[in-house]
C-alpha cells in the first residue's frame, strides 16, 4: 500500500462521520452544557433569569425537604417497578423460551410489540382500567376474592408502579430472553439425568445463568422508570410529583428555569452514576458470562 492510500484511509472515516459529529456537538453537547450552566443562574418572579453564577438552586434542592421527598419517591417508584418487572418478566421469558417455535414468535410479538406503541395510549389504557374505585381492575380483583375493598390506583404510587411496570416489561423480557439464548439446553438435561428436580434446576442451573440478563434488564428499566414522564403525569395527577414532572412544572408553569435545570441535571447525574456503577459491578461479578 502506498502512503497516499494509507492517508486517505486514515481520513475517510473522519470525513464520513464529520457531519454527524458536528451535528452532535452543535445540537446535543452544547445544549446539555448550557443546561448545566443554567442551573447556576439566578431567577426571580419579576426579573426572570439572571446569568450569574450562584448556588441558590442547588442549595434549595439540598436543603428543602420537599425535593428530598420528591427524589426519594422517584427512586422508590423506579425500584418497585424494576422489582415487579424482574419478578414477572424473568419467569415469563423462561416460559416463552420453552414454547414451540410458532407460538414462541407469536407471543414474543404480542409482548414486545407494545414497546413501539405510544406511551400516552398505553397509559390511557391503564387510566381506563383503573377508573376510580369501581374500575375494571378493582371489580376483577374483588370478584376473584384477591381483595375485599377497592384499592385506589389513580393518583397513587401503586397505580404508577403498575402502569410503569407494564410500559417497561418488554425491556425486561427482552433482556432475559437474550440471556436465555446463550444458555445451553444440554446443561438442563445433564442436571436432570443426575437426578435434579425442576426446582433445583431452576435455582441452581437457570437462575445463575440468566442473572446477568435480569440485572442488565433491571438497569434499563430502572433508568427509564426514574426519568419517566407520561405515566407518572397521567396516573399520578398534578400533586404526586416525580423528578421529570417536577422539572416540567418548573419549566412550563412556574417558569423557574434555573431550578428546573438543577433538578434535571441532578437526575441525569444520579442516573449516570447508578447506571455506570452497576454496569461495572455486574461486569466484574459476571465477567466469565460476558467473555
Partner 1 sequence: MRRNGPLALIFHTIFVVVMVAPILVVCLVAFTPEGFLSLPTNGFSLRWFRAIANYPEFIHAFWVSLGLGALSSFVALLFAVPAALALARYRFRGRDALAALFLSPLMIPHVVLGIAFLRFFTSAGLGGSFAALIIAHVIIVFPFALRLTLAAATGMDLSLEMAAVSLGANGWTLFRRVTLPLILPGVISGWALAFIQSFDDLTMTVFLAAPGTETLPVRMFLYIQDNIDPLVTSVSACVIAVTMTALILLDRFYGLDRVLAGKGDTGR
Nearer to partner 1, 119 or 142 (CB): 119
Q: How far is the CB of 160 from partner 1 (least distance, A)?
A: 14
Nearer to partner 1, 113 or 208 (CB): 113
Asked whether the beta carbons of 96 and 177 are under 8 A apart, the reply is: yes
Q: How far is the CB of 63 from partner 1 (least distance, A)?
A: 22
CA distance 39 to 3: 50
Nearer to partner 1, 28 or 54 (CB): 28
Nearer to partner 1, 45 or 144 (CB): 144
> Who contacts 159 (Cβ-Cβ below 8 Å, separation ≥6)?
126, 130, 152, 153, 235, 236
Nearer to partner 1, 1 or 20 (CB): 20
Asked whether the beta carbons of 81 and 165 are under 8 A apart, the reply is: yes
Q: How far is the CB of 161 from partner 1 (least distance, A)?
A: 14
| DSSP state letters, 123-190 | HHHHHHHHTTTT-HHHHHHHHTTS-SSPPP-TTSHHHHHHHHHHHHHHHHHHHHHHHHHTS-HHHHHH
φ, ψ dihedrals at 157, nearest 5°: -70, -35
Q: How far is the CB of 20 from partner 1 (least distance, A)?
A: 4
Q: How far is the CB of 201 from partner 1 (least distance, A)?
A: 9
188's grid cell = 438442563
Q: How far is the CB of 209 from partner 1 (least distance, A)?
A: 15
Element (H, E) at 44: strand 42-44
Nearer to partner 1, 16 or 62 (CB): 16
**30-59 per-residue burial string, b: 16 or more CB within 10 A, e: under 16:** eeeeebeebbbbebeeeeeeeeeeeebbbe
Asked whether the beta carbons of 267 and 226 are under 8 A apart, the reply is: yes
Q: How far is the CB of 217 from partner 1 (least distance, A)?
A: 8
φ, ψ dihedrals at 220, nearest 5°: -60, -50
First-to-last alpha carbon distance for the chain, in angstroms, is 35
Amino acid at each position: 500500500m502506498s502512503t497516499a492510500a494509507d492517508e486517505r484511509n486514515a481520513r475517510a472515516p473522519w470525513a464520513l462521520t464529520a457531519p454527524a459529529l458536528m451535528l452532535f456537538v452543535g445540537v446535543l453537547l452544547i445544549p446539555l452544557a448550557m443546561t448545566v450552566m443554567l442551573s447556576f443562574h439566578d431567577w426571580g418572579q419579576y426579573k426572570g433569569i439572571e446569568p450569574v453564577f450562584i448556588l441558590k438552586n442547588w442549595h434549595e434542592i439540598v436543603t428543602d425537604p420537599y425535593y428530598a421527598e420528591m427524589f426519594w419517591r422517584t427512586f422508590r417508584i423506579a425500584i418497585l417497578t424494576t422489582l415487579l418487572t424482574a419478578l414477572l418478566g424473568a419467569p415469563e421469558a423462561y416460559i416463552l423460551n420453552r414454547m414451540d417455535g410458532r407460538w414462541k414468535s407469536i407471543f414474543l410479538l404480542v409482548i414486545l410489540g407494545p414497546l413501539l406503541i405510544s406511551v400516552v395510549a398505553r397509559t390511557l389504557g391503564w387510566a381506563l382500567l383503573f377508573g376510580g374505585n369501581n374500575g375494571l381492575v378493582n371489580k376483577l380483583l374483588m370478584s376473584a376474592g384477591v381483595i375485599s375493598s377497592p384499592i385506589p390506583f389513580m393518583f397513587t404510587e401503586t397505580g404508577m408502579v403498575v402502569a410503569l411496570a407494564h410500559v417497561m416489561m418488554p425491556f425486561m423480557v427482552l433482556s432475559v430472553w437474550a440471556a436465555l439464548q446463550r444458555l445451553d439446553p444440554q446443561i438442563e438435561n445433564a442436571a436432570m439425568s443426575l437426578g435434579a428436580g425442576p426446582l433445583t434446576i431452576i435455582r441452581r442451573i437457570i437462575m445463575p445463568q440468566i442473572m446477568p440478563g435480569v440485572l442488565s434488564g433491571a438497569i434499563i428499566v430502572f433508568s427509564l422508570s426514574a426519568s419517566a414522564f407520561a405515566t407518572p403525569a397521567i396516573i399520578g395527577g398534578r400533586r404526586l410529583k416525580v423528578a421529570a414532572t417536577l422539572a416540567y412544572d418548573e419549566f412550563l408553569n412556574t417558569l423557574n428555569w434555573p431550578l428546573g435545570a438543577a433538578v434535571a441535571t441532578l437526575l441525569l447525574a444520579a442516573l449516570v452514576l447508578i447506571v455506570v456503577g452497576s454496569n461495572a459491578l455486574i461486569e466484574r461479578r459476571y465477567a466469565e458470562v460476558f467473555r
